[in-house]
Amino acid sequence: MIPRYTRPEMGAIWDRQMYFEFQRRVELAAVNAWARDGRIPADEAALLQRASFTLERIDELERTSDHETNAFVDALAESVGPEGRWLHLGLTSSDVLDTGLALQLVASGDQLLERLDDLSQVLTRLALEHRRTLMMGRSHGVHAEPITFGLKLLIWIDEVRRQRQRLCDAQATVSVGKFSGSVGTHAHVPPRVEEWACAELGLTAAPVTNQIVQRDRHAHFMTTLAGIASSLDKFATEIRSLQRTEIREAEEPFEEGRHGSSSMPHKRNPSRCERVSGLARVVRANAQAALENVALWHERDISHSSAERVLIPDSCMGLDYILWLFTNVMRDLRVYPERMRANVDMTGGLIYSQGVLLALVRAGMSRQDAYAIVQDHAGTAWTSGASFRDLITGDSRVTERLTPDDLNLAFSPDPHLKWIDAAYERLGLNEDAAPDAPAR
């Protein structure tokens, strides 16, 4: 991921120095497990804890060996002297690479969970603030019935919670290591050594492997990131639509000194939300490559390796960035309740047509007859701009069946607000609810 779209916290996890540092931890966990098993003298295992490397030395060695792991192990070994012979004992490259990758994915998952919690808190605050902010609900982009801006945000909060749980599940799926040797038979590393080494690293030993940890685990993680990115795309697309000049019910923050266009000084574009949508496409595309990596030859090949070096860091950093970006958009979102209300009133009550229809049905009229009457007046109001309510209350077929109270209720948003209040209760967001982060 290019620096423009990399936050420092996530970038540090995928930095090349840290890439090898995670592998150093893996090698030393194996050393400690072998010492516990009695294969390596305890004093020599202790000396190996100071093993170190430099990127320059690894690169120098790799120019000759053309093998990254061998270059890395050699660099470690020469930093400690004779005790270096115990490094990489019984291991194959994938033991180190896949277990190190698991550590990176766990750290990345923790960072992404923090981002999701931040977003959930911001959305919760906004949802509580706009619990009663009336606005238009739209289907097919056309005015449907009234909702509140809070309801729109409740939908997002519920979705973020689901995505959080999916990420926890995916993180658990990749939180496994392996120290099982060249084709996974444990011929040179007993399972107890694998279990001890994984435990030291905070991982679970994969129950069975060949030369690699199976890539369905990584595909699960990557498709989960793609799903989260898609939710962000959905949320950002909604803000982009609400910011259109013709609607203008909400807009992303526009700080003093910011420019919307190089040529048109009046422009205030939803460019940050557009950036969220654009990078979400990258994360989704990477998930496809992760799925392709599941099918490998026999006990393994390395066709997955080159792809993973690009797609896994890019997706972790890209998703981290757009979570951070969209959370900041929502934290300082500009909301225009007056404009929302004006749009609700724009059609002279047309949006309450279903309420009138159902009131007539409850009063004894057939649904077909009621639908025809209401649709006829709605069509007249739509084309002429006349008040739909005036047309309805001027029709004796309606007024002989419906009382003024019936009509007032039919043309009221109260039934919608009552249901929305219930939705808040179901999500545990009461009037005094504090937007605390969920427990880890």
6-20 confidence digits (pLDDT tens):
999 999 999 999 999
Residues of the chain with pLDDT under 50: 434-440
CA dihedral for 293, 225, 241, 410, sign (positive or negative) = positive
Q: Which of 65, 67, 259, 261 is catalytic?
A: 261
**Tokens 């649904």 -> residue:** 367
140 is catalytic: yes
CA angle 240, 243, 248 (to 5 degrees): 155
> Which one, of 291, 301, 277, lies nearest residue 229 by Cα?
277
pLDDT of residue 433: 52
Mind listing the domains of the chain with CATH numbers? 3-341 (1.20.200.10), 350-410 (1.10.40.30)
> Which one, of 12, 50, 10, 56, lies nearest residue 28 by Cα?
50
369-422 confidence digits (pLDDT tens):
999 999 999 999 999 999 999 999 999 999 999 999 999 999 999 888 888 988
Count, residues in the chain: 440
261 is catalytic: yes
> Which one, of 108, 109, 110, 43, lies nearest residue 80 by Cα?
43
Q: Which of 139, 140, 262, 263 is catalytic?
A: 140
pTM: 0.93
- Label residue 260 left, alpha or beta by phi (over 0 means left) and psi (-120 to 50 means alpha): alpha
> Which one, of 56, 135, 73, lies nearest residue 420 by Cα?
135
